[in-house]
Structure 1
């Protein structure tokens, strides 16, 4: 009974926010196909992906099961188990959609314009990051050089997402959307735009200079880069990962 009530509540919330229902099909709709969308992950194999510091897909730390791609829990360390995974292809202007589901206290992220030749040392590969986080339970939500910039859907360590963002609870699916066109970037969460910025602008470079990324020359300003799913040592799942070049 409790499960049914919770499900009904989520469905009502989704309808209110005009959020499309999340599926596990990992396929394109007819309209998406006509509009130029491609599956970035096929829902079954590792095709098109590899480890950020590997020639192939990691042999451990990631799981593909029932149409869901999951980074497994390994103690919360950053890129210390299977490690981050990245697309084999590079992307310039693009629109990306991905469903994600976190576990309690989890941390992960979707990075873009990633250059895997930068930061060969420990930790995650470097790129702009759509933060994935349990804001209520993970301490990162209260850290960062810019207040709130490490909360879910934020541009990690740089720009805080709208605090009124429509986030579904731990254990439920959420939909991330990233749009980057002519250096104008938007983060969306569950059908709502939660932030926007201009890559390479004076304001952007000032934010970078005040962040953990200040040591990287022209951080976030690559013309093309890889898409990355982060291993931060917590169990986080992904599906319906789709991309459209713009």
Structure 2
């Protein structure tokens, strides 16, 4: 099982890094034992609703509403791999690019919901970019089984993966993006999804849900890497010219 997970993750990173070279920094967003690194909307330690159970972050309804929880850091361009399962009839999701818009805490959401019995997919299905983009296909596993998911944010490009399948690609700022956003519940939110940095959020929709094996790899869009290299080359050329001028003075 571990070999399979490593191989799938490795393939995805190689596939994505063709366009987004990595900064070679992968971190665990969850250490498997504690809720260190996660905070409430007020920036306080998580003490209600959410707990660690069998190596997974669990939202337990019997503990009362815990509210949404957030990473204590912001992230920009990244690959986020995670596993999840949800209770029958449940609804949850992972949001990214999370920030305040006129006092509302919003972000793009990788939808997680029990839609096992649904015959088709829509913009509210599992792995959708909630209420904006529908996944192309349905690849969810039966309720009670862990699913493997991946979110890729690279420049203006967003990818959602589910159980080894690329099911959604979106380009923030494109004509298609604005057309779909206009038909969504975010049509009145100026700049929705256009911020580069934001926190990552686990949503509390009053459903039992589990998350585990959450790893984030920082990446860099090719255009930024090229721009940085160009700047570096300009510095080298200036240094070379100065040395040449000194030799001839």
Structure 1 counterpart of 2:194: 221
Q: Is residue 2:47 matched to residue 1:59?
A: yes
Tell me what 2:204 maps to: 231
Question: C-alpha deviations, 1:177-221, integer Å up to 9, x for none?
Answer: 011111111100011100101011121011111110112111111
In the alignment, which of 115, 121, 137 is matched to residue 135 of structure 1? 115
Structure 1 residue 137, shift from structure 2 partner: 6.4
1:108 to 75, 89, 92: 92
Measured after TM superposition, the shift of residue 119 of structure 1 is 6.3
Distance, in Å, in 2 between the alignment partners of 1:86 and 1:42 is 15
Return structure 1 stretches of 4+ with deviation > 2 angstroms. 19-22, 117-121
1:26 equivalent in structure 2: none
8 Å contact from structure 2 (residues 38, 71) kept in 1: yes
What is the TM-score when the length of structure 1 is the normalising length? 0.76
Task: Measure how far apart 1:60 and its partner are.
Answer: 1.1
Residue matched to 2:57: 69
CA distance in 2, matches of 1:224, 1:65: 30
For structure 2, the residue ranges without an aligned partner over 5 or more in a row are 7-12, 15-22, 220-249
Matched with 1:40 is 29
Structure 1 CA distance, aligned partners of 2:88 and 2:77?
33
The answer as to 2:188 corresponding to 1:205 is: no
SS at match of 2:151: strand
Aligned to 1:28: none
| Cα separation, 1, equivalents of 2:102 and 2:32 | 29
Which residue of 2 is the match for residue 118 of structure 1? Answer: 101
> Between Structure 1 and Structure 2, whose CA radius of gyration is higher?
2
Give the TM-score taking structure 2 as reference length. Answer: 0.75
Number of aligned pairs? 205
Q: CA RMSD in A?
A: 2.8
Query: Which position in structure 1 is the counterpart of 2:149?
Result: 176
The alignment status of 1:185 with 2:165, answered yes or no, reads no
- String of CA shifts for 1:92-119, please: whole Å, max 9, x gaps: 110000100111000000110000x336
Instruction: Return 5+ residue gaps in structure 1 as ranges.
Output: 1-10, 12-18, 23-30
